[in-house]
Amino acid sequence: MDFCTLLVTFTVVGFLVWIFAILCLDSDILTFAYSCFGKSLDRFYSRKVVWITGASSGIGEALAKELAKHKAKLVISARRIDELNRVKQECLELSKTMTDKDILVLPLDMTDYASHQHAFTKVLKHFGELDILVSNAGRSQRANWEEIENEVDKELFDLNVFSLLALNRIVLKYFYSVGKGHLAVMSSVAGKNGIPFSASYTGSKFALHGYFACLRNEIASKKMSVPITIICPGPVFSGFLKVAFTAKKGQEFGQGVRATDKRMSAERCAYLSLTGIANELEECWMSLFPFLQLTYLSHYQPYIAGRQSLEMAKHVWASNEN
pLDDT of residue 15: 57
Cβ–Cβ under 8 Å, residues 153 and 200: yes
Q: d(Cα 57, Cα 61) in Å, to the nearest integer?
A: 5
Active site residues: 201
Task: For residue 6, name the pLDDT band (cuts at 50, 70, 90).
Answer: confident
Q: Which residues pair with 141 in a beta bridge?
A: 245
54 pLDDT exceeds 50? Answer: yes
Give 147-166 pLDDT, tens digit per residue. Answer: 999 999 999 999 999 999 99
293-313 pLDDT, tens per residue?
A: 888 887 776 655 555 555 554
Domains of the chain (ranges; CATH) run: 29-289 (3.40.50.720)
Q: What is the pLDDT confidence band of residue 200, given thresholds at 50, 70 and 90?
A: very high
- What pLDDT is recorded for position 316? 46
Type and span of the H or E element at 176 = helix 163-178
Q: For residue 240, name the pLDDT band (cuts at 50, 70, 90).
A: confident
Amino acid, res. 145: W
- The mean per-residue pLDDT over the stretch 40-60 comes to 97
Q: In whole angstroms, what is the distance from residue 127 CA to residue 92 CA?
A: 17
Q: Which residue has the higher pLDDT, 304 or 74?
A: 74
pTM exceeds 0.85, yes or no:
yes
Determine whether 225 is exposed, middle or buried from the number of CB atoms within 10 Å of its CB (0-12, 13-18, 19+): middle
Spatial distance between the Cα atoms of 6 and 63, rounded to a whole number of angstroms = 46
Q: What confidence score (pLDDT) does residue 113 get?
A: 97
Average pLDDT across the chain, whole number: 90
Check residue 270 and give its pLDDT. 98
CA distance to 91, 124, 153, 322, per residue, from 71 (Å)? 10, 19, 39, 45
Average pLDDT in the 166-171 region? 98
